């Protein structure tokens, strides 16, 4: 088990609603990335936060937004939910930028399963 935790585990929302997902980083990691994994697909990069600032964004609309807090935990907010937003949302925390790559560089959390009806 990694030290990355996510809450809630499962969530059911209806179209048009808003949702907030939370992530706590691995100890010593100051960078957080969020990924969306649709059923039968690989994870797709949403965005990354470093030192509380967005540090890269994938091909997702502005209704996907995030925050990183001073303790490096993070939130993913999705407004105006659509049916296609149903997916597993994964948070990954990374060791400080500039360190050499290793198998300890990044850990994924278990994900939040979001269902939009």
Partner 1 sequence: QKEVEQDPGPLSVPEGAIVSLNCTYSNSAFQYFMWYRQYSRKGPELLMYTYSSGNKEDGRFTAQVDKSSKYISLFIRDSQPSDSATYLCAMIVNRDDKIIFGKGTRLHILP
Please give the residue ranges that form the binding site for partner 1 (CB under 8 A): 2, 4, 31, 33, 35, 40-45, 48, 56, 58, 90, 92, 94, 97, 100-101, 103, 105-111, 113
Q: How far is the CB of 41 from partner 1 (least distance, A)?
A: 6
Give all strands (DSSP E) within the chain, no chain letters.
5-7, 10-13, 19-24, 31-37, 44-50, 53-57, 64-68, 74-78, 87-94, 106-108, 112-116
Nearer to partner 1, 73 or 80 (CB): 73
Query: Are 74 and 66 within 8 A, CB to CB?
Result: yes
- Residue closer to partner 1 (CB basis): 48 or 74: 48
């Amino acid at each position: 088990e990694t030290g990355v935790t996510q809450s809630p585990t499962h969530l059911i929302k209806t179209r048009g609603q808003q949702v907030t997902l939370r992530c706590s980083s691995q100890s010593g990691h100051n960078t957080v990335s969020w990924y969306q994994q649709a059923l039968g697909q690989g994870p797709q990069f949403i965005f990354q936060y470093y030192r509380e600032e967005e540090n890269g964004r994938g091909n997702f609309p502005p209704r996907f937004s995030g925050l990183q807090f001073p303790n490096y935990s993070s939130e993913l907010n999705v407004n105006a939910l659509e049916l296609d937003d149903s997916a597993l949302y994964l948070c990954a925390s990374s060791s400080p930028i500039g360190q050499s790559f290793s198998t300890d560089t990044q850990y994924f959390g278990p994900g939040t399963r979001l269902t939009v009806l």
